[in-house]
Structure 1
């Protein structure tokens, strides 16, 4: 992640990720320039869906960890919705009955609008051909944007559709190794 951050430098960027572990944010990427499309483990939402506000998890989790005895946490530390008192769920698609969408898709839309028709590098890291949640839209974006270049790095599985091969680069390798080499070459 640090090598990727260094490669990007002061260039504008936007991160679209299906990983919910907050690695990008913890590595210094601006959360306002990200869309964690399936949520993340560091926010929670009301289980009863009385409203769409997301709340931080970390402080509550630390409090529960400190109070844990023999694998049990006091019930009064269980996170409750500040509006209706219902339990809170982790903000991850599939972890809640109703997933609360944040404004990441709007931020992505604004970024793409800003760079429409301009040079755009689409860097895809570690996404196999089966993951069409991210890969499909990125390849369609590459096809639609005349000045877009598509770079995919994935160990053992580099997939690029025929319609964008002339403006794409596929690198078969470990992401960390490839990024380290790119950083060295800069």
Structure 2
């Protein structure tokens, strides 16, 4: 819990900047922290998945399952000393095929994208509606681990919308392509400190 308490002020700080605006969030985070800090679920796209869901690793179907009851069962069978699961039946198995399960987060070709289809459609519609309107894009901390998820799409939106302005907050890699440099601000430093300046 201390980790969540540490991060929450940054999310709340960001939410205070956009709460009265027509915002949309695309995030590679799978921890639901945006939702937990007031951002509307209908305005969030999480293309990398969500820890709240589990899925079959086959996958044998496109169904996902609520993680909470699975975790509750695991914790009830966790030895507090050895940290081993005392009952093998508590280890999650797919209700359909009996196969291994894992969190519904992008990690391979087995990832089930169905829970995020409506999110993706809403995000694409939002971007399309704003292609000719002034928007500020805040790219917060996206580096080069998975640049195709957030970093490069934000650059593309900025490039294709002449009225867009990109604020890139990044401690290590705030650089932007030369083609959009005149409509971008590269902010190098810790996000919480830089947000406070806004």
- TM-score bracket, normalised by the shorter chain, equals 0.7 to 0.9
- 1:50-83 superposed Cα distances (whole Å, 9 cap, x missing partner): 2212222123212311221241142332333333
Is 1:72 matched with 2:52? no
Verify: 1:115 aligned to 2:130, yes or no.
yes
Structure 1 residue runs without a partner (length 5+): none
Contact (CA 8 Å) 1:45, 1:55: kept in 2 or not?
yes
Q: Is the 8 A contact 1:122 1:138 kept in 2?
A: yes
Residue 98 of structure 1 aligns with which residue?
Answer: 110
Q: TM-score, normalising length from structure 1? A: 0.86
Aligned 1:47-86 pairs, distance under 5 A? 47-69=57-79, 70=82, 71-86=84-99
Aligned-pair Cα RMSD in Å: 2.0
Mapped pair 1:14 → 2:15? no
Counterpart Cα distance in 2 of 1:106 and 1:79: 31
1:155-175 per-residue CA deviation (whole Å, 9 max, x = no partner) reads: 243201111111111111210
Q: Distance between the aligned counterparts of 2:40 and 2:124, measured in 1?
A: 16
* Aligned 8 A contact 2:131 2:160 in 1: no
Provide the secondary structure at the position in 2 that maps to 1:80.
Answer: coil
**What SS does structure 1 have at the residue aligned with 2:29?**
coil
What is the SS of the residue equivalent to 1:61? Answer: helix
Moved over 4 A (4+): none
Q: Residues 177, 142 of structure 1: CA spacing in aligned structure 2 closer, same or farther, 3 A cutoff?
A: same
Q: Is structure 2 residue 153 aligned with structure 1 residue 137?
A: yes
**Aligned equivalent of 1:181:** 197
Gaps of 5+ in 2: 1-10
| Of 160-169 and 114-123, the range deviating more from structure 2 | 114-123
Relative to structure 1, is the Cα distance of residues 72 and 131 closer, same or farther in structure 2, using a 3 angstrom cutoff? closer
Which secondary structure does the structure 2 equivalent of 1:5 belong to? helix
